[in-house]
Amino acid sequence: MLTIWGRATSSNVQKAMWAVGELGLPHQRIDAGGPYGGLDTPAFAAMNPNRTVPTIDDDGLIVWESNAIVSYLCTRYGAGTMYPDDWPRRAAAHQWMDWMQATFYRDWIDLFWGLVRSPPSKRDAAANAAMAARCGERLRILDAHLAKRPYVAGETLTMGDIPIGSTLYRYFGMEIERPTLPNVEAYFARLRDRPAYQAHVMVSYESLRATDR
């Protein structure tokens, strides 16, 4: 059986779990990382020397790094659906997964740490506003792309949507100024209608919020 190590509030674990949910794979998830610990054991290090989550064991095959896990699961279990058969859509799915990690994620994770993982007394309002503006500019690129298609690789959800879509729940929940992004907002609404997204991405992250206590 597929086993996934990682806590439900981890955005990277949520990518893997959303893919698992969309694919309908039997699995077990073991809480690990954050308050659950477990990453410093010799057994875990033998699986993943980086000691990070998510990490999966699929009948003896170990895979780590969230995008690699999503790609693996979708190529193995979602051929023709989550992993498109045709080359143009397949290329688009890979492209937008890389865009998320190399372009949008760098600004978004800094913003998340600046607004959520930092206590109010240590937040830099000017820096956070600048990061929010950069995130908005990045998402204008996605907004223009989605003007002609409902999902990043075409008419149906693919693995290319997983990394991007998994960040939007938190992005739209932040108290920041956002540009008008009608196509991204419509895309986000479509994702919120999906049961697997509701179950694995729309998870409260209040436990991650830093306070001054």
**Together in a domain, 96 and 176:** yes
**Together in a domain, 27 and 66:** yes
Which residue reads 């959800």 in tokens? 157
C-alpha 199/C-alpha 144 separation (Å) is: 28
Specify the CATH number for the domain of residue 19: 3.40.30.10
Task: Tell me the average confidence (pLDDT) per consecutive run of 10 residues in the chain, 213 residues long.
Answer: 97 98 98 96 97 98 98 98 97 98 94 93 94 97 98 98 97 95 98 98 93 83
**Together in a domain, 107 and 189:** yes
**Together in a domain, 103 and 176:** yes
**Together in a domain, 91 and 190:** yes
User: What separation in angstroms does the CA of 163 have from each of 41, 128, 197, 213?
Assistant: 28, 22, 12, 33
**Together in a domain, 129 and 181:** yes
pLDDT for 118: 93
pLDDT for 212: 82
Nearest to 76 by CA among 28, 17, 19, 30: 19
**What range does the domain containing 105 cover?**
87-199
177 in a structural domain: yes
User: Rounded to the nearest 5 degrees, what angle is found at the Cα of 83, between the Cα atoms of 79 and 85?
Assistant: 70
